[in-house]
Amino acid sequence: MSTVTLIDSRRGGVRIALALARWIAMLVITFTGLLAITFFIGRKIPIDPVLAILGDRASAAAYAAARLQLGLDKPLIEQFLIYARDVLHGHLGVSLLTANPVIDDIKRVFPATLELATLSTFIGIAIGVPLGVAAAVKHNRIVDHVARVIGLAGSSVPVFWLALMGLLLFYARLHWVSGPGRIDPVYDGMVDTRTGSLLIDSLIAGEWDVFKNAFSHIALPAAVLAFYSIAYLSRMTRSFMLEQLSQEYVTTARAKGLPERRVIWRHAFGNIAVPLLTVIALAYSYLLEGSVLTEIVFAWPGIGSYLTGALLNADMNAVLGSTLVIGATFIALNLLTDALYRVFDPRAR
């Protein structure tokens, strides 16, 4: 190996190490900021955790003992450091509502939200991306107008209203889907939990009746969330494609006589695939954190319903733990997207 090649190899290794160090530093700083914001907002909420545990009729001695046990007598900074240490060890406290460790409750409810958001995202990609491409290709024609109307509706129609109308029409009137909940009680417990997704677990177990029942329950809430994903993805895809279709390389490709399908999907769409990946990841993140109202309307046993119940019952350990998990998921998806962006697009390296 020549000296020049060895130097270049070492420089490449140094660049990779520096990039990895920056990535780790960004992860630590972001997560620390999330911890701090979650903790201090939780402390500023006008809810006394001691009274939430003991009730309003607790004696002064019991109140003081509980406050001492919870560490609320310590300075705020020290409380935060204790909280951060516990979080790093996987301890999010005990839920007042369920009397279970919060981390166990989240492990139980988060897969339901993950399944709902994932199915909605797949539907959004399958419909929204081709719709956005077609709208850009047929600019200012009927397909484009339909895509713009869907995008406008997705930005203005409240999700709870759409969910209620969906229940009224497809469940109460037409009986096309099952009602609220994740599965009928008669099928509950028939499938062993392996992946956390009832659809996948029932397919693995070969329980087709369970699969059909689970799908009839998830179809409507997934469609409601997918509508907003379709609106967002079609709007962004249309914008990206319009920009690419106006570039000179597209005109050159058409002038060379290349088939229109190849020009659109191989050349124009190929150039928007990487930024579109970022948009899809952001849409997925928003569905994970923004499915609260949908879960409430459909009584979906996910983290949104769990968080709402914790808020209504002043269960601050559950509130802080759920918020932290949602925020950490959002951070992880963004960092993963950034890493994939750098892998697939050399210009971003």
Task: Kindly state the percentage of the chain with pLDDT values over 70.
Answer: 90
Q: Mind listing the pLDDT tens digit for each residue in 304-328?
A: 888 888 888 777 888 888 888 888 8
pLDDT digits (tens, 9 = 90+) for 106-141: 988 899 999 999 999 999 999 999 999 999 999 889
Residue 148 in tokens: 């713009």
Residue ranges and CATH numbers for the domains of the chain are 23-88 (no CATH), 102-348 (1.10.3720.10)
Distance CA 294, CA 159 (A): 7
In three-state secondary structure terms, 58 is coil
Would you tell me how many other CB atoms lie within 10 Å of the CB of residue 217?
Answer: 23
4 pLDDT more than 70: no
Distance between CA atoms of residues 136 and 243, nearest Å: 9
Query: Quick one: pLDDT at residue 126?
Result: 94
Share of the chain above pLDDT 90, in %: 24
Burial 95-129 (b: 16+ CB within 10 A, else e): bbbbeebbbebbebbbbbbbbbbbbbbebbbebbb
C-alpha separations of 164 from 139, 161, 168, 247 in Å: 34, 5, 6, 44
- Of 42 and 270, more confident: 270
Of 45-54, 93-102, 104-113, 187-196, which has the strongest mean pLDDT?
A: 104-113
pLDDT tens-digit readout, 236-282? 999 999 998 888 888 888 888 888 888 888 888 888 888 888 889 88
Residue 236 confidence (pLDDT) = 93
What's residue 346's pLDDT?
60
Residue 2, pLDDT above cutoff 70: no
Which of 47-61, 243-257, 288-302 bottoms out in mean pLDDT, i.e. has the lowest?
47-61
Instruction: Tell me which of 29-33, 225-229, 344-348 is least confident.
Output: 344-348
With cut-offs at 50, 70 and 90, classify the pLDDT of residue 99: confident
Q: What are phi and psi of 176, to 5 degrees?
A: -80, -30
User: Is residue 214 a contact partner of residue 199, using CB atoms and an 8 Å limit?
Assistant: yes
121 CB-near residues (< 8 Å, 6+ apart):
226, 229, 280, 283, 284, 287
Provide the pLDDT for residue 308: 85
**Stated pTM of the model:** 0.83
In contact, 291 and 225? CB cutoff 8 Å: yes
pLDDT band at 290 (very low <50, low <70, confident <90, very high): low
For tokens 């919870």, what's the residue?
Answer: 70
| pLDDT above 90 (res 22) | no
pLDDT value at residue 170 = 92
Contacts of 335 (CB under 8 A, 6+ apart): 23, 26, 27
* Region 9-36 average pLDDT: 76
DSSP 187: G
Under a CB-based contact definition with an 8 Å cutoff, are residues 38 and 327 in contact?
yes
Mean pLDDT computed over every residue of the chain: 84
Most confident of 38-52, 188-202, 328-342: 188-202
